[in-house]
Structure 1
């Protein structure tokens, strides 16, 4: 018994040591230098914290029981749990030095210390009469729960514990209401980035949970350089191979999907605005195309639906009334037949004036019609008045339509005072004014008056030279057996199409002119450009095509791909499945630490004449052409190395793309081929990661 008492006394005194040390670290940690062994203890905090939680809660339960033996056991468990709580609190305080700060950390820290203090208070005064024990033990259980809640927020994100309850409903966002950052970019950052870069946990001095932190960047510089993905650390880090130390998110965290990577890249390219709406993007912009698939075109409306009888009564042979989409209370109205148009019929629309959001009066004779009836349509968003002979004075009735966003008045000859009247329609965001008769001065004044609107004055190509669209290439498939037909076309019939099959840039003079379908008979990089008088030559159409060639008997890799870039091993190199331009698509073998070394076994008397290697190039992701390519041919007894050709290296940052390396093989008989591709050992000085080791990515090898 004395021995037990001595242990109890030691543990009791140790409690005051833990509490005192915890208070010292809490108030003086900024002036202390934490040695490496103690940093290891700090990082053990998530590992050991579960033990004291269980012990303290178990002690709370036992201390409530009436059995004295169980109460005594509870006291011992409480003493042990309190000591483990002290160690856990100290470990947490040491860990807090590694990039954690903010209000969540403060709550977690002081609630942890409070848990230690309460455990000590209950232990030393557990024999007090009255409600002391009940109140303090319930308070301890609540304090432990809150400590765990704030700890989970630190490591897993805000409201991690209650997330399943709080996020049952998915927010409906209509395309017209969607914002690029708020609804496309922010959800990605919240899901994949903010857990490590937020209030309470600021790794790399970077906060991503508020706009100020995103704009400021971290210790390595600006996170985002608007319009320049190559200089933006965000884009650089997410495109690094997953095994890279600087790749984000870290490889033990959930990775970005291909769509998420594309959204972040396109957002930065488009200027990384924090306020831009999706509808303000050009309709042909890739980011808008992604958004149109992501968000519904079905805008939600709060007003009541019109009665079916009213809609049925208004529908006739010259007027159609329909919901803008099935089930919507919003209505669109269109008039047809100029000769049958009766201006007095416009008054009939008053029965559905609350529900009309689109009104099409194109080609109706409105020159003598009072458009004042439109003021009764509070939710009108789109008005079509093309070729209706309306005058500027009639358009003054539109000023009070607060929801009018799209106005089309093309084909109407407008008077000089039209600029003054239209300039007051500040609510309009898209204005169509083809063939309006406005001179250049009037157009400029209107553009200044409606500076936030997109105004389409129609096409005027005087003195302007535009680039051609690239040619369209039609083909069956990327891999072919003996030969494959390529058909080129261009919407401008007078355009000439020039092409190459060796990966070089076509020019307007020396490159072959396309006249008939092209028959490809070997592996190569195909490029085509369009040229025409009074036009700028198009950007090239680029494609890589592969002749399937000889099927090996077997093959063997000396090393697997590095990290997660192992695809299906050597089989991936001969499966005729082309990888995507994203290196994480699962079809690529990536090599960084070790070279690609492959031995191929062939049938006898079936020696190929050339070998082609399909590679990926993406300088942003450290993926370069190989530094050296070595090829041997031979049989069971001898090997012959073919002469090396110097590899052409990248000289600048470019978009992700495919490449092909083709090498001739000797005319001798052989039944084995050995290939060795060495990754670039040091990235060049112009690259942001200069000096780092590069990657080689391969997805297909073909023998012909």
Structure 2
């Protein structure tokens, strides 16, 4: 929506109703400004609450369309975790689903038969799925279907003719499908009640660059981290990437990111791409975490959550899990926790930092208290530090990364023990020692 508005010269005074009826900006903006008295009312019953909760998980998010509405919207995530069963299980709420988002999932034509059972479906997103279009005829029973997105799929002109069997259909997204402009024009003439969205046309105006791409957004520094280790790239050739580490936003006068640069301390790096004749990109960031020491061994004396039962050495291997909650780099500790850490040679520590992910909506949150005990051995421990992690107000409904830092009384340490008081699942991917 913002892209189209900027492309249209970012006119603050222009009204949505003043745009042409087939204008992409008007079509998308209209969904945000629809009057409340035009909200659809549904005559089907709400889904059973137990069924609703059982079907919701980390990769299949099911939410009500609105407060007290029986209608549900379903989003599936993580292509690698997707199975046909994930779709088939939704038959338990087939009457309540009105919006289904399967974008970038490996959905095949055969699975459209399952989708056709969601009899009240209004909006279906199949962008960049593996469908060929041969099975679109199976969607004919969806008498309420209003929009279907097929961008990035292998649908053909003949496949799309099958959609005529759905009289309620008003909008079809077909950009990046390989369809010719002449074919899309013919479809528009043959099916005047359907708006075929074809994407953007080059009008000669400067185009905004994509942001620089990072494989991971957080890294561990032992001694130093080279520029190559960040694996920073850009899909467009001859782009210059500038960066800052002082918290300010980069511009074309900031340092140029290039080989030979090394980072040695905690920092948040901001990157921005520039190219002559283009609009500069949005900013992307990478967090760097210094860990001067590495524990030689580790033991976890607490319950590990079944879904996150990965190797405990993931906490001291210098590899972060990123934002993918299903990554095998995350360890989930359930309830009160005891972690023992051993150093073959004594080290002088002044802080211990726990890198964590919080997903409060699903009971994954930091513990109430973390205590750090340590000494030259188990029998000579003393309390070195305590921290009470806090979740910032307003972050209680989203997932986010946290670095929980516990300051210590500086002391020679060979043995360290972290103890917590907790009720949920504490997700950890690394512990830093400085």
Q: TM-score when scaled to structure 1?
A: 0.35
* CA spacing shift, 1:276–1:657, aligned 2, 3 Å: same
Aligned residue pair count: 313
Residue among 552, 558, 563 paired with 2:295: 552
Describe how 1:503-652 pairs up with structure 2 within 5 A.
506-508=248-250, 513-517=255-259, 518-522=261-265, 526-530=269-273, 538-544=281-287, 550-561=293-304, 563-565=305-307, 567-568=309-310, 570-576=312-318, 578-579=320-321, 581-594=323-336, 596-608=337-349, 610-636=351-377, 637-642=380-385, 644=387, 647=390, 649=392, 651-652=394-395
Q: Distance in 1 between matches of 2:63 and 2:330?
A: 36
Q: Distance in 1 between matches of 2:341 and 2:52?
A: 51
Describe how 1:213-224 pairs up with structure 2 within 5 A.
221-222=68-69
Q: Distance in 2 between matches of 1:523 and 1:514?
A: 20
Map of 1:498 onto structure 2? 243
Describe how 1:333-344 pairs up with structure 2 within 5 A.
none
Q: What is the CA distance between 1:221 and its match in structure 2? A: 4.6
Larger Rg: 1
Do structure 1's residue 674 and structure 2's residue 431 form an aligned pair?
no
Q: What is the CA distance between 1:629 and its match in structure 2? A: 3.5
Bigger fraction of residues in helix: 1
Do structure 1's residue 459 and structure 2's residue 282 form an aligned pair?
no
Q: What is the CA distance between 1:661 and its match in structure 2? A: 3.2
Map of 1:259 onto structure 2? 82
* CA spacing shift, 1:663–1:510, aligned 2, 3 Å: farther
Superposed CA RMSD = 5.6
Task: Map Cα deviations across residues 247-294 of structure 1 (whole Å, 9 max, x no partner).
Answer: xxxxxxxxx983369989994598x9935566xxxxxxxx623x13xx
Map of 1:688 onto structure 2? none
Map of 1:345 onto structure 2? none
Q: Secondary structure at the match of 1:697?
A: strand
* CA spacing shift, 1:207–1:424, aligned 2, 3 Å: closer
Q: Distance in 2 between matches of 1:621 and 1:536?
A: 39
Describe how 1:249-288 pairs up with structure 2 within 5 A.
258-259=81-82, 267-268=100-101, 274=121, 288=127
Bigger fraction of residues in strand: 2
Q: Distance in 1 between matches of 2:249 and 2:413?
A: 40
Q: Distance in 1 between matches of 2:274 and 2:102?
A: 28
Map of 1:486 onto structure 2? 227
Q: Distance in 2 between matches of 1:258 and 1:454?
A: 30
Describe how 1:44-193 pairs up with structure 2 within 5 A.
none
Q: Distance in 1 between matches of 2:265 and 2:86?
A: 33
Map of 1:321 onto structure 2? none
Q: What is the CA distance between 1:516 and its match in structure 2? A: 3.7
Q: What is the CA distance between 1:698 and its match in structure 2? A: 0.9
8 Å contact from structure 2 (residues 330, 427) kept in 1: yes
Q: What is the CA distance between 1:615 and its match in structure 2? A: 1.1
Map of 2:213 onto structure 1? 472
Q: What is the CA distance between 1:473 and its match in structure 2? A: 3.8
8 Å contact from structure 2 (residues 226, 263) kept in 1: yes
Name which structure has the greater RCO, CA cutoff 8 Å, separation 6+: 2
Q: Secondary structure at the match of 1:603?
A: strand
Map of 2:35 onto structure 1? none
Residue among 422, 425, 428 paired with 1:698: 428
Task: Map Cα deviations across residues 423-458 of structure 1 (whole Å, 9 max, x no partner).
Answer: 895237xxxxxxxxxxxxxxxxxxxx6752235672
Do structure 1's residue 427 and structure 2's residue 190 form an aligned pair?
yes
Describe how 1:369-408 pairs up with structure 2 within 5 A.
406-408=179-181
Task: Map Cα deviations across residues 472-508 of structure 1 (whole Å, 9 max, x no partner).
Answer: 3479x9556532222555548676633448xx6x524
Q: Secondary structure at the match of 2:394?
A: coil
8 Å contact from structure 1 (residues 216, 223) kept in 2: no
Map of 2:13 onto structure 1? none
- Structure 1, unmatched stretches of 5+, are 1-198, 209-214, 227-233, 240-255, 279-286, 301-356, 359-378, 383-404, 411-421, 429-448, 680-692
8 Å contact from structure 1 (residues 574, 700) kept in 2: yes
Q: What is the CA distance between 1:625 and its match in structure 2? A: 4.0
* CA spacing shift, 1:661–1:406, aligned 2, 3 Å: same
Q: Distance in 1 between matches of 2:420 and 2:256?
A: 36
Map of 2:27 onto structure 1? none
Q: Secondary structure at the match of 1:642?
A: strand
Task: Map Cα deviations across residues 160-181 of structure 1 (whole Å, 9 max, x no partner).
Answer: xxxxxxxxxxxxxxxxxxxxxx
Q: Secondary structure at the match of 1:573?
A: helix
Q: Secondary structure at the match of 2:226?
A: strand
8 Å contact from structure 2 (residues 224, 263) kept in 1: yes
8 Å contact from structure 1 (residues 619, 654) kept in 2: yes
- Structure 2, unmatched stretches of 5+, are 1-44, 54-61, 91-96, 104-117, 136-155, 162-177
Do structure 1's residue 661 and structure 2's residue 404 form an aligned pair?
yes
Q: TM-score when scaled to structure 2?
A: 0.52
* CA spacing shift, 1:673–1:533, aligned 2, 3 Å: farther
* CA spacing shift, 1:558–1:512, aligned 2, 3 Å: farther
* CA spacing shift, 1:223–1:277, aligned 2, 3 Å: closer
* CA spacing shift, 1:592–1:535, aligned 2, 3 Å: farther
Q: Distance in 2 between matches of 1:576 and 1:615?
A: 14
Q: Distance in 2 between matches of 1:644 and 1:553?
A: 24
8 Å contact from structure 2 (residues 295, 341) kept in 1: yes
Task: Map Cα deviations across residues 297-323 of structure 1 (whole Å, 9 max, x no partner).
Answer: 4959xxxxxxxxxxxxxxxxxxxxxxx
